[in-house]
Structure 1
Amino acid sequence: MLQDVPSVQYKVKIENFSLLQRSKLEKYESSLFEACDHKWKLSLYPNGNTNRGGKGHLSLYLEIAQTETLPLGWEVHVNMKMLVYDHNRDKFLAFQDAIGCTKRFHPMKTEWGLDKLLPLCTFNDTDSGFLVDDWCVLGVELFLVRDTGKGESMSLVKDLKQPPHIWTIDNLLGKRNGKNLCEQFTVGGPGDRRWFYCQFYCRGRSENFDAFIDYPTLANGFLFNDSLVVEAEIMNIGLVKVLVRKANLKGFICFW
């Protein structure tokens, strides 16, 4: 994909690139630069990173630096594209990983890039426009993705010791054709109080039990002076926190 770049914020022009390829230098690292609130550097393998299958290609990586200053458990999500300047078209050719351009940097993965950015036969061919008069420009388009996504966190309450809630419904048969009855009760102590509703549908139907118990059965030993005792016990409580995070993209384009 070709794209124009309106400004240059960090640029290193590599001259005499063929000498770099003929040298014994396996990897060349750029100076540290700051972008999107973090320190970064680019790593170039002029003859390909053979340890990752990049032999015969140009390999280019972005590495987050000075991670020792970041908090424990840090993660940095970055939307990134590698860039190679095309002299012939005066545009930048953008490359990205086949599995997506958003990468997650963390203590176990501090470097992302392309093992096979460009075949060396294509890059070294002056007609392709990438290496002209033995100089080139490489870079990365970098966008920091902050706090994006949605989710939830669930935890069960430990040591839930709560007696059953007992509810006495008087004059039940007289309320048979009326509305459903509802009573509120609490579970937990003063500092951790949870509110619940106990509902009883007098018409013999509820949202949770379509046929909880029929009236002939109720009349056979469950009713006393037209009163019914209902017991509700909370066995477990799962507390769910909904996590809604806003997305913020902060961009930076580095040329090397």
Structure 2
Amino acid sequence: MDIQKSIESNILRGRDAPPSHYLFKIESFSLLDRAPLRKYTSDYFEAGGYRWRITLYPSGDKLNDGEGHISIYLELMVTDSFSFGWEVDVVFNFFIMNQLQNKYVVVQDWIEKRYHSMKTEWGNPKFLDLETFHNPLKGYLVNDTCVLGAEVFVVRSSFKGECLSMVKEPATCFHSWKVNSFSTLADSNCVSQSFGSPKWYLSLQPYGVAEAKGSHISLFIEVSNIPPNTKLFVNFILRLKDQDQWKRKDVFHQYNRVFSSSWRSWGKRNFMSLATLKDPKLSYLVNDTCIIEAEVTLLGLIN
């Protein structure tokens, strides 16, 4: 089918009702076309429970083989708050108004796409060729003005919901762990006594793990008895004490993390270099003993 027959076929598919979700009018289109910008992005609109916006390339999205055409895309907005692994299946289409017939024309078939964290924008780089668009007999650009729109229908969305219940007066539990005979510790995991409720443990790898192996100590905090289908929102501090009471240059790291049955441990692999720990001019290791402290505050429960 040649371009003329395709356009004529699309004109027959025009309708009186405007697009139900978004409509925008561009006046002085030639000025937009000559402006020093590649694209124009619309304000957001809502459809199917989500926020969207349209991006228009008046001279074509040349990076995606859209040269010689108007290119148009639909972007899903505000995805940072979505839970991990989210997906949204969408059917959508773009419209352009035939101002001579006062009809809203669909110039392509409906688009079915899946939005996810790696792809939040879909569209058509060859929405309408510029020769057809600028042809005054076609009615798409009249008095340097055009009208475009979009309809968006969410077919399916995949999310894991949760409820965060913050603790009104969170209590902090403290634990101090004296690690004796550090030089005799094997290259394996050392675990402290349990403390607090739920039960917490400190986990020390004296010669590091992963990229820190052989150069740093690795220090983590672990929880053992999380209730089923529950997550813990926790603020915790891991500290290696400076045993010189006059200097008191403790090394510490503070985090806000979510603990669950599948992620029971958080911490820092390169907590402190072995060279710093063993430096005789410092006081982190005294008489072959170091002191590790933890402060744990349960901020909330997630169900």
Higher relative contact order (CA 8 A, sep 6+): 1
- Does residue 1:101 correspond to 2:103, yes or no? no
- Give 1:101 shift: 2.1
Structure-to-structure mapping, 1:1-256, within 5 angstroms: 1-5=13-17, 10-96=22-108, 101-146=111-156
- Measured against aligned partners, the alpha-carbon deviations of 1:2-60 in whole angstroms (never above 9, x if no partner) come to 23325755432110001111111101000111111101100000000000000010000
- Give 1:82 shift: 1.2
State the structure with more CA Rg. 1
- Give 1:93 shift: 1.2
Is contact 1:80-1:96 (8 Å) kept?
Answer: no
Partner Cα distance (2:34, 2:151) in 1:
28
- Measured against aligned partners, the alpha-carbon deviations of 1:170-197 in whole angstroms (never above 9, x if no partner) come to xxxxxxxxxxxxxxxxxxxxxxxxxxxx
Partner Cα distance (1:135, 1:96) in 2:
21
1:188 matched residue in structure 2 = none
> SS of the counterpart of 1:13?
strand
Query: What's the % identity of the aligned pairs?
Result: 45
Please give the TM-score of this superposition, normalised by the length of structure 2: 0.46
Change (3 A) 1:34 1:131: same
Letter in 1 for 2:143: D
Q: CA RMSD in A?
A: 1.9
**Structure 2 unaligned spans of 5+:** 1-12, 159-303
Letter in 2 for 1:103: K
Matched positions, count:
146
1:248 matched residue in structure 2 = none
**Structure 1 unaligned spans of 5+:** 149-256
- Measured against aligned partners, the alpha-carbon deviations of 1:110-157 in whole angstroms (never above 9, x if no partner) come to 111111011111101221100101111111121110269xxxxxxxxx
Partner Cα distance (1:67, 1:128) in 2:
39
Partner Cα distance (1:80, 1:95) in 2:
13
Is contact 1:46-1:59 (8 Å) kept?
Answer: yes
Q: Which moved more, 1:77-86 or 1:88-97?
A: 88-97
